[in-house]
Structure 1
Amino acid sequence: MPETKSNECFSISLEDISSKIPDDGINIRDFLDLMGDRGGLIICLILATPFLIPVSIPGSSIPFGLGIMFIGISRIFNRYLIPKFIMEYVLPKDTLLKILNGTMTALGKVEKYIKPRFLVLSKGPAISRFSLSLMVFTSFLLMLPLPVPLTDSLPGYSIFFLVLGILEHDGYFILAGYILTSITTIYFSLIFLFGYAGITFVLSHFGIYMPQF
């Protein structure tokens, strides 16, 4: 699974890809081919986007989380280990265009800040596998069916920053991904330990008020 570096802005690349999606949608296998050498990680970026912005795709956390998880595992072992049912999962064109537009919006806000730096966190097989392992872990958290606020968005942001950092060798974005993963892990741990009512009560003592539902 070779990786090449491109100076082309992601948002421009995604805009071009949007025009190539068939009217009847596209499966993950064909989408990987369409995305090119870095397709796996770029797909992870795209699949994480609906959990960052208000793009409503009911029931998406499990299939999207599974896709991110198996792509991450494939990157760790440097060969595709993605089950056939995921590779053949079809993304409808209208849904995919909404996600791509959301991804381009999110990237437009951050891509001017992305550049190769703090390479101690962005290069080398051991640190890359560690970062990918965190991505796999947060994709697992994303799939958990918890009817609690932030249980989609926190893993989504963790994955988004980790993937951007890995793709562009930006150690600062990877570090942000580490921090977000830590916050996500603490949040989920508190939910499992105390329940949502408990975590709301505990955080309120620190001046942090969670949304009610």
Structure 2
Amino acid sequence: MNVDPVHVRAFGPTALLAEVDDAAAALALATWLREHRVAATEVVPAARTVLLDGLDPADLGGARALLAGWRDEPAAGDDAGQGRGPVGPVVELPVVYDGPDLDDVADLWGVSREEVVARHTGLELLSVFCGFAPGFAYLSGLPQEWAVPRLDSPRTRVPAGSVAVADTWCGVYPTVSPGGWRLLGRTRTPLWDVDRDPPALLAPGTRVRFVVEDPS
């Protein structure tokens, strides 16, 4: 399987920014670059970009040549060539589905609360990149027809462990923070632990399934 060419631009004297079509392609490219040992101190995937930072200014051309070669090879670990990115370990997160926005999501989807839970727990999601806060993983896999808008007014305080959706993303707040995503429930599983390797439980490439936990 060939992939689309990468648009690359300089991002300061020691970095390049590679622009791709979507988050799955960004994760696949970042994984491929690491496997090909690109000479960068950091390779950071995002929603539609991959940042290569800490490059030798004298070897930017070599990094550009490596990026150009991605179009001729499949991304390693690609899920049967379907463009989901590398297939990593599966993490199951127990969730108590009692979030304050559960009814709103049910209304937006035109289903019952129980069906929202059934849909959410029936998905296998993929962590494609981390951002916003340490340990906050952007989980892809929510169908476009289930996309939901963010809150008009973000909350000033979202409890740690809150399981949320926004647009076609799912996420779990690792710590107390402001946030505008719609809250479906909560998990007691720690998402960020500096004594763990890696500290982020849902590092990019991790597959995620949510399971119902009894609130008692």
Task: Say yes or no: TM over 0.5.
Answer: no
Which one has a bigger Cα radius of gyration? 2
Q: TM-score of the superposition, structure 1-length normalised?
A: 0.29
Q: TM-score of the superposition, structure 2-length normalised?
A: 0.29
Structure with a larger share of its residues in helix: 1
